Structure 1
């Protein structure tokens, strides 16, 4: 279990509008997908932020969790921290190649 998943259950279990659903994957495995009962309030985002979200959705929206994981594990940031108990520093986001 990694740092994020160790705390994830506490986070989404406290959110009334989020429900986990069990989904089956083509590989035969199953897992949880978090589903919101309400839509997003896009008025909270600036035009620039919405543009960034659209770009990220276009670039990564067709990928599944395994593909995203494989992509992120090719990043130097992940490779530098993989053997460490330390979370990846946010400053590493500026060196991501996939973006």
Structure 2
């Protein structure tokens, strides 16, 4: 596996602020809730790897039954609520589902992000906002990272390129590591 590369390092403060940013942006999304928040965050980081060559937060995402989710989301969400920076609210969506929403109580600190990072996040939100949580989960299940790791395992960022040949050209190191990982995981599946 790749040695830790500075641009892949986890930044907990950025993840906390990204949680608030996304939660604020999706308040009008009647199908949003915990499941969809997980996917917005996952797709934001993995789309950034494809488009910018690095994740936004560097957070580890794991494979869960309903799709990938950042490992640190639950404790950070709880910290934001405990500190009065957000609150949780259960809300029926009118379609028979009850969603667990995170409602920001303050503005996110967007100065922590580069403009192109926020553009990627906004593109992800725009792409997914009309989809139900089930549809977004199904979309995430088509990602190589979700398909090639076992339940609870970390999804390597290098797998962001496996099913995205039309995206930004990865660095040679990431390309070769992604190919090696794909081969390794393909061997495990056979």
- TM-score by length of structure 2 reads 0.42
Q: Separation in 1 of the partners of 2:71 and 2:111?
A: 32
Question: In 2 relative to 1, CA 14–72 (structure 1 residues): closer, same or farther, beyond 3 Å?
Answer: same
Question: How do residues 17-36 of structure 1 correspond to structure 2 at under 5 angstroms?
Answer: 17-36=85-104
- TM-score by length of structure 1 reads 0.71
CA contact 1:77–1:96 (8 Å) conserved in 2: no
Q: What is residue 144 of structure 2 aligned with on the other side?
A: 76
Q: Separation in 1 of the partners of 2:77 and 2:163?
A: 27
Q: Separation in 1 of the partners of 2:123 and 2:70?
A: 26
Question: How do residues 46-61 of structure 1 correspond to structure 2 at under 5 angstroms?
Answer: 46-61=114-129
- Larger RCO (alpha carbons 8 Å, 6+ apart): 2
Q: Separation in 2 of the partners of 1:53 and 1:92?
A: 19
Aligned length: 96
User: How far is 1:71 from its partner?
Assistant: 0.5
> Does 1:90 find its partner at 2:157?
yes
Please, which runs of 5 or more residues in structure 2 have no aligned partner?
Answer: 1-63, 168-190
Question: In 2 relative to 1, CA 5–75 (structure 1 residues): closer, same or farther, beyond 3 Å?
Answer: closer
Question: How do residues 37-52 of structure 1 correspond to structure 2 at under 5 angstroms?
Answer: 37-52=105-120
